[in-house]
Amino acid sequence: MVADVLADLIPALVQQVASVVDLDTALTEIARLLGFPYFALTHHVDLARSSDSVIRLHNYPEHWALDYDNRALGLVDPVHRASYMTAIGFRWTQIPWLVPLTENDRDILEEGKRRGICDGFTVPVHVPGEARGSCSFAIGSGEVPGQATLMQAQVAGTYAFEAARRLWHKRGLSLTPLRPVLTDRQRDCVLLMAQGKSDAEIAKILGISKDTATAHMRAACQRYRIYKRQLLIPLTLFDGTLTFGDVKPWRYPHFL
């Protein structure tokens, strides 16, 4: 019976919710049916310093949520970091297998337990050009539901975050900032730089002069409005111009 209700309710997240209040109501009901009293739908940013364009919706205990925001824990939360290492949902007991835990990480997880958030299941969301995010379902005590239920939670979390993106866009809040577009040659130069090549090596690989390679790098910096070319690497990885697979130097083995 619960599975049938969820089968109807989850698609409604994207198709029918018309406001953030509707989404909050739907997620509260879905979390309850899944066996979780709490949920958190959020971008992984410093929420205290972020604009209204950042997605944030949860029903966590207020005292924990306020402290979490004031300490900017969204930037270092081990649950958030673990979500960067997988494309599917994961139980929090799996976090040590996804990322190495520091003493501070353990302190955050233990403090969450003391504040009433003991265990959970997190669905990662990766949209190129946007801050990374996730949808978590959490419990204050007891056991996390079984695998069949967690598969439904995976679907629910994905649909919920997409519904939030649609609602935030509808409110006129841009989730994806305008990003520079490099020419093909500029991208080639940035890619080779990311692989550790000098301007002279880039020029030789691409069959251009060293001055031309340098000029392409300078133009790429201008498009991103930065002054240090090293910043091109994280910026282009973040906005999808390059991928981590691109940066591997296997494409030009003769220059290794």
pLDDT tens across 44-55, in order? 876 655 556 688
How far is residue 37's CA from residue 32's CA, in Å, rounded to a whole number? 6
Place of tokens 């066996």: 35
What's residue 48's pLDDT? 58
Structure tokens at 203: 């020029």
Q: What is the pLDDT of residue 2?
A: 58
Looking at residue 55, its pLDDT comes to 87
- The mean per-residue pLDDT over the stretch 160-170 comes to 87
User: What pLDDT is stored for residue 248 in this prediction?
Assistant: 67
Most confident range, picked from 87-96, 123-132, 230-239: 87-96
Domains, the chain, ordered by start: 2-170 (3.30.450.80), 184-255 (1.10.10.10)
Whether the per-residue pLDDT at 60 is higher than 60: the answer is: yes
Report, as an integer, the average pLDDT of 185-213. Answer: 94
Cβ neighbours of 198 (radius 10 Å)? 12
**Tokens 């018309």 map to which residue?**
18
- The percent of residues in the chain predicted with pLDDT above 90, rounded, is 57
pLDDT reported for residue 113:
94
d(CA 37, CA 234) in angstroms, rounded, equals 38
Q: What is the pLDDT of residue 99?
A: 92
Residue 135 is encoded by which pair of tokens?
Answer: 């949808």
* Helix intervals (H) in 125-209: 147-170, 184-194, 199-206
Sign, Cα dihedral of 235, 237, 239, 242:
positive
Kindly report, residue by residue over 98-107, the tens digit of the pLDDT.
999 999 999 9
Q: d(Cα 198, Cα 222) in Å, to the nearest integer?
A: 19
> For residue 99, what are its two tokens?
């990322």
pTM above 0.75, yes or no: no
pLDDT at 175 over 60: no
Which pLDDT score is estimated for 255?
Answer: 46
- CA–CA distance, 107 with 101 (Å, rounded to integer): 10
Give me the chain's average pLDDT, please. 86
Q: What is the pLDDT of residue 5?
A: 61
Is residue 93 scored above 90 in pLDDT? yes
